[in-house]
Structure 1
Amino acid sequence: MDVPALLEAASLLVPADIATENDITVDDIWDHLAHDEWEVALGLLEELGDVHPLPHDFWESLATAAGQMRLERSAAWCRWRCYESRHGIIRADLTLRRAGEGRRQAAFSGAGVLRPMWSIGNQTSTGGEALDIARLWVEFMPALGPGERSSVRLAPLDPSRWRHLQPGQTITMHEDRTIGGTAVVLEVQGPAATPAP
Protein backbone atom coordinates (compact mmCIF):
# COMPACT_ATOMS: atom_id res chain seq x y z
CA MET A 1 0.00 0.00 0.00
CA ASP A 2 1.12 3.55 -0.63
CA VAL A 3 1.18 6.29 2.01
CA PRO A 4 -2.27 7.79 1.28
CA ALA A 5 -3.92 4.35 1.32
CA LEU A 6 -2.23 3.45 4.62
CA LEU A 7 -3.33 6.72 6.24
CA GLU A 8 -6.86 6.31 4.90
CA ALA A 9 -6.99 2.74 6.27
CA ALA A 10 -5.85 4.00 9.69
CA SER A 11 -8.42 6.84 9.58
CA LEU A 12 -11.22 4.35 9.07
CA LEU A 13 -10.32 2.73 12.42
CA VAL A 14 -10.78 5.98 14.39
CA PRO A 15 -14.22 6.49 16.00
CA ALA A 16 -15.87 9.63 14.59
CA ASP A 17 -16.74 11.01 18.04
CA ILE A 18 -13.21 11.29 19.49
CA ALA A 19 -11.16 14.49 19.35
CA THR A 20 -7.75 15.75 20.48
CA GLU A 21 -7.32 18.50 23.09
CA ASN A 22 -7.41 20.95 20.17
CA ASP A 23 -10.72 19.49 18.89
CA ILE A 24 -9.09 17.74 15.92
CA THR A 25 -11.26 14.89 14.68
CA VAL A 26 -10.97 12.28 11.97
CA ASP A 27 -12.87 14.66 9.64
CA ASP A 28 -9.96 17.11 9.90
CA ILE A 29 -7.57 14.32 8.97
CA TRP A 30 -9.61 13.50 5.86
CA ASP A 31 -9.26 17.17 4.85
CA HIS A 32 -5.47 16.96 5.16
CA LEU A 33 -5.43 13.72 3.18
CA ALA A 34 -7.49 15.34 0.41
CA HIS A 35 -4.78 18.03 0.15
CA ASP A 36 -1.89 15.49 0.16
CA GLU A 37 -0.69 16.75 3.57
CA TRP A 38 0.41 13.28 4.62
CA GLU A 39 2.89 14.22 7.33
CA VAL A 40 0.31 16.47 9.02
CA ALA A 41 -2.32 13.72 8.77
CA LEU A 42 0.14 11.20 10.27
CA GLY A 43 0.90 13.47 13.23
CA LEU A 44 -2.77 14.10 13.90
CA LEU A 45 -3.59 10.41 13.71
CA GLU A 46 -0.83 9.75 16.28
CA GLU A 47 -2.47 12.36 18.54
CA LEU A 48 -5.89 10.72 18.18
CA GLY A 49 -4.25 7.42 19.16
CA ASP A 50 -3.27 9.03 22.46
CA VAL A 51 -6.89 10.10 23.13
CA HIS A 52 -8.58 6.74 22.60
CA PRO A 53 -7.13 3.19 22.53
CA LEU A 54 -6.94 2.09 18.91
CA PRO A 55 -6.27 -1.40 17.49
CA HIS A 56 -2.98 -2.87 16.39
CA ASP A 57 -3.89 -2.45 12.69
CA PHE A 58 -4.17 1.34 13.19
CA TRP A 59 -0.64 1.59 14.58
CA GLU A 60 0.74 -0.87 12.04
CA SER A 61 -0.63 1.24 9.15
CA LEU A 62 0.87 4.39 10.67
CA ALA A 63 4.25 2.69 11.24
CA THR A 64 4.38 1.55 7.60
CA ALA A 65 3.33 4.98 6.31
CA ALA A 66 5.91 6.76 8.49
CA GLY A 67 8.59 4.35 7.28
CA GLN A 68 7.68 5.02 3.65
CA MET A 69 7.92 8.77 4.35
CA ARG A 70 11.33 8.18 6.00
CA LEU A 71 10.13 9.63 9.30
CA GLU A 72 12.23 7.27 11.41
CA ARG A 73 11.32 8.49 14.90
CA SER A 74 7.62 8.53 14.02
CA ALA A 75 7.89 5.02 12.54
CA ALA A 76 9.65 3.84 15.72
CA TRP A 77 6.93 5.44 17.87
CA CYS A 78 4.14 3.78 15.89
CA ARG A 79 5.91 0.40 16.10
CA TRP A 80 6.18 0.99 19.87
CA ARG A 81 2.44 1.63 19.99
CA CYS A 82 1.87 -1.60 17.99
CA TYR A 83 3.64 -3.42 20.82
CA GLU A 84 1.55 -1.61 23.46
CA SER A 85 -1.70 -2.41 21.64
CA ARG A 86 -0.89 -6.12 21.98
CA HIS A 87 0.79 -6.19 25.39
CA GLY A 88 -0.40 -3.14 27.33
CA ILE A 89 1.10 0.13 28.54
CA ILE A 90 3.50 0.67 31.41
CA ARG A 91 4.48 4.27 32.18
CA ALA A 92 6.82 5.41 34.94
CA ASP A 93 8.60 8.52 36.22
CA LEU A 94 12.33 7.67 35.91
CA THR A 95 15.22 9.50 37.57
CA LEU A 96 18.71 8.43 36.48
CA ARG A 97 21.66 8.48 38.86
CA ARG A 98 24.15 11.30 38.33
CA ALA A 99 27.38 10.71 36.40
CA GLY A 100 29.86 9.15 38.80
CA GLU A 101 27.12 7.53 40.91
CA GLY A 102 26.27 4.87 38.34
CA ARG A 103 27.58 3.16 35.23
CA ARG A 104 26.04 5.63 32.75
CA GLN A 105 28.22 8.60 31.88
CA ALA A 106 26.37 9.92 28.80
CA ALA A 107 22.82 10.37 27.54
CA PHE A 108 21.05 7.60 25.63
CA SER A 109 18.50 7.84 22.81
CA GLY A 110 14.96 8.01 24.08
CA ALA A 111 13.48 6.22 21.05
CA GLY A 112 13.19 2.73 22.50
CA VAL A 113 16.75 1.59 21.81
CA LEU A 114 17.97 0.98 25.39
CA ARG A 115 17.01 -2.42 26.89
CA PRO A 116 17.97 -2.21 30.56
CA MET A 117 17.18 -4.70 33.31
CA TRP A 118 14.62 -3.82 35.97
CA SER A 119 14.06 -4.92 39.55
CA ILE A 120 10.26 -5.12 39.75
CA GLY A 121 9.80 -7.43 42.74
CA ASN A 122 10.27 -10.79 40.99
CA GLN A 123 12.52 -13.45 42.50
CA THR A 124 14.67 -16.25 41.15
CA SER A 125 13.86 -19.90 41.96
CA THR A 126 16.35 -19.68 44.85
CA GLY A 127 14.69 -16.57 46.33
CA GLY A 128 17.19 -14.01 45.03
CA GLU A 129 16.33 -10.80 43.20
CA ALA A 130 15.37 -11.41 39.56
CA LEU A 131 16.02 -8.72 36.96
CA ASP A 132 13.61 -8.45 34.03
CA ILE A 133 14.38 -6.79 30.70
CA ALA A 134 12.25 -4.02 29.17
CA ARG A 135 12.97 -1.55 26.39
CA LEU A 136 12.61 2.08 27.41
CA TRP A 137 10.97 4.98 25.51
CA VAL A 138 11.55 8.47 26.93
CA GLU A 139 8.43 10.62 26.62
CA PHE A 140 8.70 14.21 25.35
CA MET A 141 12.52 14.19 25.15
CA PRO A 142 14.87 12.87 22.43
CA ALA A 143 17.42 11.60 24.99
CA LEU A 144 17.96 11.15 28.73
CA GLY A 145 21.25 11.59 30.54
CA PRO A 146 22.77 11.07 33.98
CA GLY A 147 20.89 12.92 36.74
CA GLU A 148 17.91 13.67 34.49
CA ARG A 149 14.27 12.78 35.06
CA SER A 150 11.43 12.04 32.64
CA SER A 151 8.29 10.01 32.20
CA VAL A 152 9.07 6.83 30.28
CA ARG A 153 7.23 3.91 28.73
CA LEU A 154 8.43 0.33 29.17
CA ALA A 155 8.10 -2.60 26.76
CA PRO A 156 8.91 -5.81 28.68
CA LEU A 157 10.60 -8.74 27.00
CA ASP A 158 8.14 -10.98 28.91
CA PRO A 159 4.98 -8.95 29.68
CA SER A 160 3.52 -11.71 31.88
CA ARG A 161 6.27 -11.08 34.49
CA TRP A 162 5.16 -7.42 34.80
CA ARG A 163 1.41 -7.84 35.33
CA HIS A 164 1.65 -7.35 39.10
CA LEU A 165 2.88 -3.74 38.81
CA GLN A 166 0.67 -1.04 40.34
CA PRO A 167 0.75 2.77 40.11
CA GLY A 168 2.88 4.18 42.92
CA GLN A 169 5.19 1.16 43.04
CA THR A 170 8.94 1.91 42.95
CA ILE A 171 11.15 -0.10 40.57
CA THR A 172 14.84 0.21 39.77
CA MET A 173 16.71 0.27 36.45
CA HIS A 174 19.99 -1.59 36.02
CA GLU A 175 22.48 -1.58 33.14
CA ASP A 176 24.68 -3.85 35.25
CA ARG A 177 24.18 -5.12 38.81
CA THR A 178 24.27 -1.56 40.20
CA ILE A 179 21.21 0.69 40.24
CA GLY A 180 21.22 3.11 37.30
CA GLY A 181 17.92 4.80 38.06
CA THR A 182 14.77 4.69 40.15
CA ALA A 183 11.25 4.86 38.73
CA VAL A 184 7.79 5.25 40.19
CA VAL A 185 5.08 3.48 38.19
CA LEU A 186 2.53 5.98 36.88
CA GLU A 187 0.19 3.83 34.82
CA VAL A 188 -0.43 0.19 33.96
CA GLN A 189 -2.98 -0.73 31.29
CA GLY A 190 -3.80 -4.06 29.73
CA PRO A 191 -3.79 -4.60 25.96
CA ALA A 192 -6.24 -2.67 23.79
CA ALA A 193 -9.49 -4.51 23.19
CA THR A 194 -9.68 -6.19 19.81
CA PRO A 195 -12.86 -5.32 17.91
CA ALA A 196 -15.17 -8.23 17.18
CA PRO A 197 -15.09 -9.46 13.55
Structure 2
Amino acid sequence: MEALAREKSIVRRLATFISRTIGTATSQDPTVILDHVLLGSRENAEDSRLLYFLGITHICNCAKQVGNSFEGEFIYLKLNLHDSQDEELIPHFQTVTKFLNRVERLRGRVLIHCISGASRSPALLVAYLMIDKKIPLLDAYNMVRRKRQVVQPNQAFRLQLAKYELMLFGASSVATTTDKDWNFYAWNEVKNERGLRKR
Protein backbone atom coordinates (compact mmCIF):
# COMPACT_ATOMS: atom_id res chain seq x y z
CA MET A 1 0.00 0.00 0.00
CA GLU A 2 2.83 2.38 0.89
CA ALA A 3 4.53 1.72 -2.46
CA LEU A 4 1.28 2.39 -4.34
CA ALA A 5 0.74 5.66 -2.44
CA ARG A 6 4.31 6.70 -3.30
CA GLU A 7 3.76 5.84 -6.95
CA LYS A 8 0.52 7.85 -7.11
CA SER A 9 2.28 10.75 -5.39
CA ILE A 10 5.00 10.76 -8.06
CA VAL A 11 2.37 10.76 -10.83
CA ARG A 12 0.55 13.72 -9.20
CA ARG A 13 3.79 15.64 -8.58
CA LEU A 14 4.88 15.26 -12.18
CA ALA A 15 1.46 16.27 -13.49
CA THR A 16 1.72 19.48 -11.46
CA PHE A 17 5.27 20.12 -12.68
CA ILE A 18 4.27 19.67 -16.32
CA SER A 19 1.34 22.04 -16.02
CA ARG A 20 3.77 24.74 -14.82
CA THR A 21 6.64 24.02 -17.20
CA ILE A 22 7.16 26.16 -20.26
CA GLY A 23 9.57 25.12 -22.98
CA THR A 24 9.97 23.10 -26.10
CA ALA A 25 11.12 19.58 -26.70
CA THR A 26 14.47 18.94 -28.37
CA SER A 27 15.31 16.97 -31.50
CA GLN A 28 16.77 14.25 -29.25
CA ASP A 29 13.39 13.50 -27.67
CA PRO A 30 12.04 10.02 -27.11
CA THR A 31 9.49 8.73 -29.60
CA VAL A 32 5.83 8.60 -28.56
CA ILE A 33 4.57 5.12 -29.45
CA LEU A 34 1.35 5.23 -27.43
CA ASP A 35 0.06 8.09 -25.28
CA HIS A 36 1.52 6.45 -22.17
CA VAL A 37 4.62 4.84 -23.74
CA LEU A 38 7.70 6.60 -25.10
CA LEU A 39 10.69 4.82 -26.60
CA GLY A 40 14.08 6.41 -26.12
CA SER A 41 17.75 6.25 -25.34
CA ARG A 42 20.17 6.33 -22.44
CA GLU A 43 20.65 10.03 -23.12
CA ASN A 44 16.92 10.64 -22.66
CA ALA A 45 16.86 8.61 -19.44
CA GLU A 46 19.67 10.75 -18.00
CA ASP A 47 17.97 14.10 -18.75
CA SER A 48 15.70 14.85 -15.79
CA ARG A 49 14.44 18.12 -17.26
CA LEU A 50 13.29 16.34 -20.41
CA LEU A 51 11.71 13.52 -18.41
CA TYR A 52 9.72 15.98 -16.32
CA PHE A 53 8.76 18.02 -19.37
CA LEU A 54 7.40 14.92 -21.12
CA GLY A 55 5.48 13.80 -18.05
CA ILE A 56 7.47 10.63 -17.49
CA THR A 57 6.48 8.91 -14.24
CA HIS A 58 8.00 5.45 -14.83
CA ILE A 59 11.16 4.24 -16.55
CA CYS A 60 11.81 0.77 -17.97
CA ASN A 61 15.60 0.50 -18.22
CA CYS A 62 16.46 -2.45 -20.48
CA ALA A 63 20.25 -2.05 -20.55
CA LYS A 64 22.56 -3.87 -18.15
CA GLN A 65 25.28 -1.24 -18.57
CA VAL A 66 23.02 1.74 -17.75
CA GLY A 67 22.18 2.65 -14.17
CA ASN A 68 18.95 4.19 -12.91
CA SER A 69 19.85 7.87 -12.75
CA PHE A 70 16.97 9.20 -10.65
CA GLU A 71 15.93 6.58 -8.09
CA GLY A 72 13.23 8.03 -5.87
CA GLU A 73 12.07 10.52 -8.50
CA PHE A 74 10.66 7.96 -10.94
CA ILE A 75 9.39 4.39 -10.62
CA TYR A 76 11.87 2.02 -12.29
CA LEU A 77 11.80 -1.42 -13.81
CA LYS A 78 15.44 -2.47 -14.34
CA LEU A 79 16.24 -5.30 -16.73
CA ASN A 80 19.89 -6.31 -16.96
CA LEU A 81 19.92 -7.15 -20.66
CA HIS A 82 22.73 -7.17 -23.21
CA ASP A 83 22.21 -6.49 -26.91
CA SER A 84 23.52 -9.94 -27.67
CA GLN A 85 22.57 -12.91 -29.83
CA ASP A 86 22.61 -15.01 -26.64
CA GLU A 87 20.25 -12.82 -24.61
CA GLU A 88 16.85 -14.30 -23.77
CA LEU A 89 14.10 -11.69 -23.95
CA ILE A 90 11.03 -13.95 -23.78
CA PRO A 91 11.26 -14.44 -19.98
CA HIS A 92 10.89 -10.65 -19.62
CA PHE A 93 7.89 -10.13 -21.92
CA GLN A 94 5.24 -10.56 -19.21
CA THR A 95 7.18 -8.47 -16.67
CA VAL A 96 7.40 -5.55 -19.10
CA THR A 97 3.75 -5.94 -20.10
CA LYS A 98 2.61 -5.82 -16.45
CA PHE A 99 4.77 -2.75 -15.81
CA LEU A 100 3.42 -0.88 -18.84
CA ASN A 101 -0.14 -1.88 -17.96
CA ARG A 102 0.35 -0.51 -14.46
CA VAL A 103 1.54 2.81 -15.89
CA GLU A 104 -1.55 2.98 -18.10
CA ARG A 105 -3.89 2.16 -15.18
CA LEU A 106 -2.29 4.89 -13.05
CA ARG A 107 -2.50 7.34 -15.96
CA GLY A 108 1.24 7.77 -15.85
CA ARG A 109 3.77 7.83 -18.65
CA VAL A 110 6.71 5.50 -19.17
CA LEU A 111 10.02 5.83 -20.98
CA ILE A 112 11.31 2.46 -22.15
CA HIS A 113 14.95 2.64 -23.17
CA CYS A 114 18.24 0.82 -23.69
CA ILE A 115 21.37 2.53 -25.06
CA SER A 116 20.00 4.01 -28.28
CA GLY A 117 16.42 2.75 -28.32
CA ALA A 118 17.17 0.57 -31.32
CA SER A 119 17.30 -3.10 -30.25
CA ARG A 120 16.46 -4.23 -26.70
CA SER A 121 13.78 -1.73 -25.73
CA PRO A 122 11.89 -1.76 -29.06
CA ALA A 123 11.88 -5.57 -29.08
CA LEU A 124 10.29 -5.59 -25.62
CA LEU A 125 7.85 -2.87 -26.66
CA VAL A 126 6.79 -4.88 -29.72
CA ALA A 127 6.16 -7.87 -27.44
CA TYR A 128 3.96 -5.66 -25.24
CA LEU A 129 1.95 -4.54 -28.28
CA MET A 130 1.40 -8.17 -29.24
CA ILE A 131 0.51 -9.36 -25.75
CA ASP A 132 -1.58 -6.48 -24.45
CA LYS A 133 -2.94 -4.81 -27.58
CA LYS A 134 -3.28 -8.04 -29.62
CA ILE A 135 -1.44 -6.48 -32.56
CA PRO A 136 0.20 -9.00 -34.94
CA LEU A 137 3.99 -8.92 -34.92
CA LEU A 138 4.44 -7.44 -38.40
CA ASP A 139 2.04 -4.58 -37.65
CA ALA A 140 3.50 -3.92 -34.20
CA TYR A 141 7.07 -3.99 -35.53
CA ASN A 142 6.26 -1.69 -38.45
CA MET A 143 4.36 0.71 -36.20
CA VAL A 144 7.36 1.10 -33.89
CA ARG A 145 9.87 1.24 -36.74
CA ARG A 146 7.86 3.87 -38.65
CA LYS A 147 7.78 6.10 -35.59
CA ARG A 148 11.44 5.57 -34.68
CA GLN A 149 13.58 4.85 -37.72
CA VAL A 150 16.67 3.69 -35.80
CA VAL A 151 14.74 0.63 -34.59
CA GLN A 152 16.60 -2.53 -35.57
CA PRO A 153 16.42 -5.34 -33.00
CA ASN A 154 19.16 -7.91 -33.48
CA GLN A 155 18.30 -11.16 -35.29
CA ALA A 156 18.06 -13.17 -32.09
CA PHE A 157 15.48 -10.76 -30.70
CA ARG A 158 13.49 -10.82 -33.95
CA LEU A 159 13.58 -14.62 -33.92
CA GLN A 160 12.27 -14.67 -30.35
CA LEU A 161 9.47 -12.27 -31.30
CA ALA A 162 8.55 -14.44 -34.31
CA LYS A 163 8.47 -17.62 -32.21
CA TYR A 164 6.50 -15.87 -29.48
CA GLU A 165 3.89 -14.70 -31.98
CA LEU A 166 3.40 -18.31 -33.08
CA MET A 167 2.90 -19.32 -29.46
CA LEU A 168 0.62 -16.37 -28.68
CA PHE A 169 -1.63 -16.36 -31.76
CA GLY A 170 -1.02 -19.79 -33.31
CA ALA A 171 -0.07 -18.07 -36.57
CA SER A 172 2.69 -15.89 -38.00
CA SER A 173 2.34 -12.48 -39.62
CA VAL A 174 6.02 -12.47 -40.64
CA ALA A 175 6.27 -15.89 -42.30
CA THR A 176 5.53 -14.72 -45.83
CA THR A 177 6.38 -11.03 -45.71
CA THR A 178 8.88 -9.64 -48.19
CA ASP A 179 10.28 -7.31 -45.50
CA LYS A 180 14.03 -8.00 -45.40
CA ASP A 181 14.06 -7.77 -41.58
CA TRP A 182 12.26 -11.13 -41.54
CA ASN A 183 14.46 -12.87 -44.10
CA PHE A 184 17.31 -14.39 -42.13
CA TYR A 185 18.69 -17.89 -41.72
CA ALA A 186 17.44 -18.84 -38.24
CA TRP A 187 13.87 -17.70 -38.95
CA ASN A 188 13.89 -19.30 -42.41
CA GLU A 189 14.86 -22.59 -40.74
CA VAL A 190 11.93 -22.33 -38.33
CA LYS A 191 9.57 -21.54 -41.21
CA ASN A 192 10.82 -24.56 -43.15
CA GLU A 193 10.47 -26.87 -40.14
CA ARG A 194 6.91 -25.71 -39.48
CA GLY A 195 5.80 -25.49 -43.09
CA LEU A 196 5.24 -21.74 -42.89
CA ARG A 197 6.90 -20.87 -46.19
CA LYS A 198 4.90 -19.90 -49.27
CA ARG A 199 3.92 -22.92 -51.31
Bigger Cα Rg: 1
- TM-score (normalizing by structure 1): 0.28
Per residue, is there more helix in 1 or in 2? 2
- TM-score (normalizing by structure 2): 0.28
